């Protein structure tokens, strides 16, 4: 039997995990069955106002690293910019959602707390169901670093190929099992550590159906398809154009839109091009605003807000239609032709440069 109180006199939190998170953990572990793997978890920390002072962790999503993650038999290393950007995307959309709830008079109740990083889960070889000494040192380094702003970590361990386990009576355990489809089970053991205990403690999970917990927005195209984003960026910035990316609430509904502020040398107006999260399958749209100079140290979001307030919607020429084989530059050129935006003497390059553009291009 597990106790919610340790020998140190400090309790572990309540833990609730969305069913979708359990399913994603097992699927990822089976995908890399021969190697260690893992993902970052995000969710909510709800104070214990109605749970006898014991806070509750709600795990709502788990985010995989990109292809640069090191996965080997006894080694796994993650933590890349794409993963950080996905976490930030979810956090920013959750923040906007909470603001909407307050402004519309809805009572968000216990969910009105920030979305935050909760820790990483990882798969271990064989039936190693406890964190290793290396895991302990890594966790302590993380929670001791003030730059991380974390005083705890959740650290589930996933292992595969367990024979079915039968629990007797109301036994309380810190793991859940999931059938693998071959007569064996995947097992997820949940562990918790904080700055005071400095030890991994077992924590009992409660798995909730997805519809009983808040849902998060879908991931955006520019983070899911980095090759497409690089190509779009290269095409937009070829010739005499400047482009920067801004995440903006363009249609008063979640999720945020991925927007581009696009200007040409010598033009008296700028384009604000809006792409939905599932671009290019969903068409872009645009607004046009008066040109303003942008200094190197200017706040792009403040300038974008100013331009948005001064902008007007603009439609492409009559008969022009979007399809998902196009690029944003095709849409932009159609708008520029309609609006009569000036082209510099040297013209523009029809072919994009063959150099990789980065997300830094737009997220200044």
Domain of 54: which CATH number?
3.40.140.10
Same domain, 94 and 130: yes
Same domain, 240 and 296: yes
pLDDT score of 359: 39
pLDDT tens for 205-246 read: 999 999 999 999 999 999 999 999 999 999 999 888 999 999
Q: Is the dihedral of CA 338, 341, 342, 348 positive or negative?
A: negative
Strand partners, 119: 41
Alpha helix (H) residue ranges in 225-345: 226-236, 300-310, 328-339
Task: Evaluate if residue 250 carries a pLDDT over 90.
Answer: yes
Same domain, 228 and 177: no
| Lowest-confidence region among 14-28, 34-48, 59-73, 145-159 | 59-73
pLDDT score of 298: 87
Q: Return the percentage of the chain with pLDDT > 90, whole number.
A: 68
Q: Which long-range contacts (CB under 8 A, 24 or more apart) does 298-307 make?
A: 300/244, 300/246, 300/261, 300/364, 301/246, 303/261, 304/246, 304/248, 304/259, 304/261, 304/272, 307/261, 307/270, 307/272
* 253 domain-assigned: yes
pLDDT tens for 52-66 read: 889 999 999 999 886
| Average pLDDT score over residue span 140-156 | 95
Task: Evaluate if residue 325 carries a pLDDT over 80.
Answer: yes
Task: Evaluate if residue 5 carries a pLDDT over 50.
Answer: no
**Domain's final residue, options 161, 189, 212:** 212
pLDDT score of 169: 59
Same domain, 314 and 260: yes
Pairing of β 56-63 and β 205-208 = unpaired
pLDDT score of 161: 92
Q: How many domains does the chain have?
A: 2
Same domain, 38 and 164: yes
pLDDT score of 142: 93
Task: Evaluate if residue 364 carries a pLDDT over 50.
Answer: no
pLDDT score of 49: 84
Same domain, 95 and 202: yes
Counting DSSP H helices and E strands in the chain, the numbers are 7, 18
Same domain, 105 and 189: yes
Same domain, 125 and 186: yes
* 266 domain-assigned: yes
Answer for the pair 46, 113: CB distance below 8 angstroms, yes or no.
Answer: yes
Task: Evaluate if residue 137 carries a pLDDT over 60.
Answer: yes
CA 31 from chain center: how many Å? 21
Domain hosting 345: range is 221-349
Q: In what order do the strands lie in the sheet with 191-194?
A: 152-154, 191-194, 201-202
pLDDT score of 105: 72
* 358 domain-assigned: no
Q: How confident is the model at residue 125 (pLDDT cuts 50, 70, 90)?
A: confident
Same domain, 163 and 266: no
Q: Which DSSP string do the residues of 72-106 spell out, in sequence order?
A: ETTEEE---HHHHHHHHHHHHHHHHHHHHHHHTT-
Pairing of β 157-162 and β 185-189 = antiparallel
pLDDT score of 52: 87
pLDDT tens for 57-95 read: 999 999 988 655 433 334 334 456 889 999 999 999 999
């Amino acid at each position: 039997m597990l106790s919610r109180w340790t020998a140190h006199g400090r309790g572990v939190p309540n833990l609730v995990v969305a069913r979708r998170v359990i399913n994603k953990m097992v699927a990822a572990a089976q995908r890399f069955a021969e190697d260690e793997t893992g993902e970052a978890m995000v969710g909510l920390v709800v104070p214990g106002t109605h749970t006898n002072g014991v806070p509750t962790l709600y795990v709502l999503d788990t985010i995989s690293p990109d292809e640069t993650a090191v996965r080997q038999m006894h080694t796994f290393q993650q933590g890349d910019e794409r993963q950080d950007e996905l976490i930030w995307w979810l956090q920013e959309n959750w923040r906007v959602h909470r603001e909407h709830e307050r402004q519309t008079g809805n009572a968000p109740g216990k969910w009105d707390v920030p979305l935050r990083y909760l820790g990483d889960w990882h798969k271990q070889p064989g039936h190693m169901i406890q964190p290793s000494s290396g895991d302990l040192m890594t966790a302590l380094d993380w929670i001791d670093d003030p730059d991380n702003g974390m005083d705890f970590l959740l650290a589930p361990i996933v292992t595969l190929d367990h024979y079915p386990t039968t629990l007797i009576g109301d036994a309380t355990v810190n793991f859940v099992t999931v059938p693998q489809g071959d007569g064996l089970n995947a097992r997820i053991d949940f562990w918790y550590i904080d700055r005071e205990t400095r030890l991994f403690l077992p924590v009992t999970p409660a798995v909730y159906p997805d519809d009983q917990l808040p849902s998060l927005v879908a991931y955006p195209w520019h983070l899911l398809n980095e090759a497409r984003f690089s190509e779009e960026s290269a095409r937009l910035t070829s010739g005499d154009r400047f482009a920067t990316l801004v995440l903006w609430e363009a249609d008063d509904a979640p999720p945020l839109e991925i927007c581009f502020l696009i200007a040409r040398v010598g033009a008296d107006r700028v384009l604000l091009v809006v792409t939905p999260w599932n671009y290019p399958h969903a068409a872009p749209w645009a607004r046009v605003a008066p040109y303003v100079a942008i200094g190197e140290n200017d706040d792009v979001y403040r300038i974008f807000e100013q331009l948005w307030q001064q902008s007007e919607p603009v439609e492409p020429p009559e008969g022009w239609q979007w399809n998902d084989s196009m690029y944003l530059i095709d849409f932009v050129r159609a708008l520029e032709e309609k609006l009569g935006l000036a082209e510099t003497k040297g013209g523009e390059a029809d072919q994009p440069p063959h150099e990789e553009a980065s997300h830094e291009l737009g997220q200044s």
